Amino acid sequence: MHDRTHARPSRWPLRALALLSATLFCLISWAGTASAHGSIVEPASRNYGCWERWGDDHLNPAMQQEDPMCWQAWQDNPNAMWNWNGLYRNGVGGNHQAAIPDGQLCSGGQAEGGRYNSLDAVGPWTTTDVGDDFTLELYDQASHGADYFLVYVTRQGFDPTTQSLGWNDLELVRETGSYAPSQNISIDVSTSGRSGHHIVYTIWKASHMDQTYYICSDVDFG
């Protein structure tokens, strides 16, 4: 399930309703979005990818068949997508495994009152094709920079379509130093020995305060 393009039927009334709904949701959640920062946009985080593919068409029933994991996420809480840049926890103090239980890694330990719980759902999330060496692209709207990034990839043999993600399923493949404030940060990652569907798990410690982001991106190593 790797194709990120969709041939969608023309449903102009639904599109108009979707755009109106999107506007209302954006207005309702504006305060939270304005104070948030960003996410990994390539390979796309789960909620950014759902927003990117379906934000202007999220009421289209075709999503249920074409992109079922995004469908369940939109049904659970649309604000997880409108606020794709707000999946963080404050005051973790670097003790990530104590703050985030197994099975809740993609929601940041059910952060923001459970807004992102749908991102922990097990199933065939849409993937981005990558090679052994690839680049993560962070879009940081607030330009707060980073104290560090920790980049993990699931071990070979882990199956994201049937297994819930835990810390023991991850291998640390990149640990960075600090980055100056910027809206765009690139992180080169090198792996080996992987094939098929994996989860890239990125921990981003923002530099302006003790605020940490927990980001799941689904990839396919081919």
Residue 33 lies inside a defined structural domain of this protein: yes
Residue 82 lies inside a defined structural domain of this protein: yes
Listed as ranges, residues in the chain with pLDDT below 50 are 1-34
Give the pLDDT confidence score for residue 28 in this predicted structure.
38
pLDDT tens digit sequence for 75-89: 999 999 999 999 999
Residue 30 lies inside a defined structural domain of this protein: yes
**Domains in the chain, number:** 1
pLDDT tens digit sequence for 35-58: 568 999 999 999 999 999 999 999
Residue 197 lies inside a defined structural domain of this protein: yes
Range of the domain at 67: 12-220
Do the beta carbons of residue 175 and residue 188 sit within 8 Å?
no
Q: Which residues contact 183 (CB under 8 A, 6 or more apart)?
A: 38, 139, 140, 141, 143
Which CATH number fits the domain that encloses residue 154? 2.70.50.50
Residue 7 lies inside a defined structural domain of this protein: no
Give the pLDDT confidence score for residue 36 in this predicted structure.
62
Per the confidence metrics, is the pTM higher than 0.75? yes
Q: Measuring CA to CA, how many Å separate 88 from each of 33, 148, 212?
A: 12, 15, 5
